[in-house]
Amino acid sequence: MTSSLPTPLEDSTELESTELESTETLETVSETETDLEQEPENTHNLEWFILVCQSNNEKKVVLSLQERIKKFNLAKSFGRIIIPSQEVEKIDSKGKKSKVEKKITPGYIFIQLEMNDFNYSLVRDTPKVLSFLGATKMKMPPAISYAEINRLLNQAENDTAKPIISSKIRFDKGEKVKVIDGPFTNFIGEVDEVKHDKFKLRLLISVFGRPTPVELEYTKVEKL
């Protein structure tokens, strides 16, 4: 299996954020929780598979799966269900920053289960699920090795987490901004040039009474 996953169908419906109420069969993975090298001893009948679902519906799929697993008393036939994610910085149109969870592989869920006809149908018929990766009408999906799942997660986590920047945020030449990160922290600078395609600013900062040009990313300044 290659490390590149095809782009799944995206649901254009805007969804409200859904909190995951139960963690009995669900585990969402953040930057520090992706090491799966050591497989638990009590999961010898369980194998890893990759589930394809509509983008922006991953949490709804997991919640539906939890309900179906509980309804049919199949907790022993299912293990971890992972929505790989990492914490990134989000900047809104007013320049306000916050931390949010960003999905590493949108439209994909890693699921551990004992594969048989019933469990396959239970998962496949869950609303918003498109398919198991690699499954066809003639054959069951291939299991993914523990090492491969671990490699995919770690490879994605090692990629630089780029901040989510609102397309509406704007800076104007001559505008005053405050530097909040780096060697010029707390300095006030004047915007001399805006590179919106790169989300960078060229500032003129007064150092020892002389204007000094400095190029900084949007994430390193805030509006006054």
Inform me whether the pLDDT recorded for 24 exceeds 70.
no
Burial of 166-201, coded b for 16+ CB within 10 Å and e otherwise, reads eeebebeeeeebebeeeebeebebbbbebeeeebbb
2 class by beta-carbon count within 10 Å (0-12 exposed, 13-18 middle, 19+ buried): exposed
Average pLDDT of the segment spanning 143-158: 77
Q: Tell me what pLDDT residue 10 has.
A: 59
Average pLDDT of the segment spanning 168-197: 86
* Cα 123–Cα 20–Cα 63 angle in degrees, nearest 5: 20
Whole-number average pLDDT of the chain: 77
Contact 67, 53 (CB under 8 A): no
Of 91-100, 171-180, 215-224, highest mean pLDDT: 171-180
Query: For the whole model, what pTM was predicted?
Result: 0.59
Cβ–Cβ contacts within 10 Å for residue 163, how many? 15
Q: Could you tell me the two tokens for 178?
A: 């405050």
Contact 96, 61 (CB under 8 A): no
CA distance 72 to 80: 17
Q: Tell me what pLDDT residue 13 has.
A: 43
- Of 162 and 92, more confident: 92
Average pLDDT of the segment spanning 103-115: 89
Burial of 108-124, coded b for 16+ CB within 10 Å and e otherwise, reads bbbbbbbbeeebbebbe
- Of 173 and 34, more confident: 173
Inform me whether the pLDDT recorded for 145 exceeds 70.
yes
Percent of the chain with pLDDT over 90: 33
Classify 177 as helix, strand or coil.
strand
Cα→Cα distances 149→1, 37, 82, 88, Å: 10, 9, 10, 22
Q: Band of the pLDDT at 63, cuts 50, 70, 90?
A: very high
Average pLDDT of the segment spanning 172-186: 87
Average pLDDT of the segment spanning 155-164: 59
Average pLDDT of the segment spanning 182-199: 86
Contact 179, 171 (CB under 8 A): no
Q: Tell me what pLDDT residue 77 has.
A: 95
Q: Band of the pLDDT at 11, cuts 50, 70, 90?
A: low
* β-bridge pairing 164-165 and 78-91: parallel
Average pLDDT of the segment spanning 135-156: 83
Domains with residue ranges and CATH for the chain:
27-165 (3.30.70.940), 176-223 (2.30.30.30)
Q: Tell me what pLDDT residue 1 has.
A: 44
Average pLDDT of the segment spanning 27-44: 45
